[in-house]
Structure 1
Amino acid sequence: MPGILYLVPNTLGPVDAADGDVLATILPAEVQALAARLDYFVAENAKTTRAFLKLINANYPLAKPLQEIKIAELNVNTEAAALPALLAPLLAGQDAGLISEAGVPAVADPGANLVRLAHQHGIQVRPLVGPSSLLLAVMSSGLNGQSFAFNGYLPTDAAQRAKRIKQLEDRSRQEKQTQLLIETPYRNGAMLEALATACNGTTLISVATDLTLASEAIKTQTATKWKNDIAAGKTPDFHKKPTVFLLLAD
């Protein structure tokens, strides 16, 4: 009988173990306990997964010493031909955990390909409760939570990016739909400026940074107000910090 593929949520960024039981406000105890008993993980990043397991170990002793726990990497560079080997232990009856570098696996994450293949092989998939930056951003934005769409990354070329923003704004206006997007953290400033410049002045733009972390910051206001803030040098403290951008046109 195949093992179970558990989709194990991670933190949304680095947390300091010196701050006490930081996981208690992010992951349910049952999720931590379950993760602790697994000895095989498929992860987007082995280094951050080991750091995460160290935090787990502070509350729930791991099934094996950390150095004996197998962590196989699955990221954007992993070829489709390599996926069956990642599932081989599950097909042999071993349970496994799928972990993203941050947040919930298989959402804006290459782990979705492994989950699809698991279903094709009749492997049970169990998603566990944890933080999703996208849902947390929608919740805290004040924008439309009845209809929203995640669009991933926009083009890096300035002209193409501005064109794409206008397309998303038009869709938002026509469908009354909140549009979500992300950017490489060191380009957050350029993304906010592009949104404020390309969007109509009354379009609402929300910026959600470091969600669930001590440095969390969330702000929603019109494109005109963001444009004025940028001109005054009052941009958010979000350089190199994971950020979700949202817009809703009237």
Structure 2
Amino acid sequence: MKETAAARKPPGASPPRPSGSAHTERLTKVHGSGPMAVRALDEVSVVFPAGRFTAIMGPSGAGKSTLMHCAAGLEDATSGKVFVGDEELGALSDRRLTRLRRERIGFVFQAFNLLPTLTARDNIVLPMTLAGRTPDPEWFDTVVRVLRLGDRVAHRPAELSGGQQQRVALARALITRPDIVFADEPTGNLDSRTGAEVLTLLRGAVDDLGQTVAMVTHDPVAAAHADAVVFLADGGVDDVVDGPTADRVLDRMRELGGRS
């Protein structure tokens, strides 16, 4: 099993780390059956270490989004195992899996998926509202401060820029203090300047809040914000690069593209 390793450490005292991480063991996902079957993932074993930022990259069709969806419990695996902390997702009932996704996994996607009739504050606390829980005021204030949303929490999505909406989406992902946040091309709908800001905020969530982040991206510059990059090819883990730079990632992607 290839395990990503930390390449960066925040300055000063280390922030408290979440107790769990996510990992897969020989994860296989097959779409369809018979001659038309497509093996999207082929016995993928990968670890997303607690308190670290991992990027997932690979050519089109390599299995990036499928890996994320299975690891996040959004798709069932054909075989193999997925763990969030010490919980095996395949062993959970639908009800317990829904609860785990709501309370222990955060999601950030290209589409911000904010409810237009709710304020930023209400969108942020929505996972806890659905669970019948009250947010910790101190943690809410910390997340809002780190993501620089203090003067925007009373605004509705239509009154926010794209970057501000993505910040709200990230705050919503963090509010439950999840074991891991999965981000699927989180800068895909943003201009380069706003995208860079969101990546800086994801990096800050790891360094300043002790969060665990796994991000699918096609952008070498985005991947360079991570502690490590997991490269997929043909449904399997091809390589894991610690301490990535944009140039190293680009060179690796060119190698993978030349083989496809």
TM-score norm. by structure 1 comes to 0.32
Structure having the higher strand fraction is 2
Structure showing greater Rg? 1
TM-score norm. by structure 2 comes to 0.31
Structure having the higher helix fraction is 1
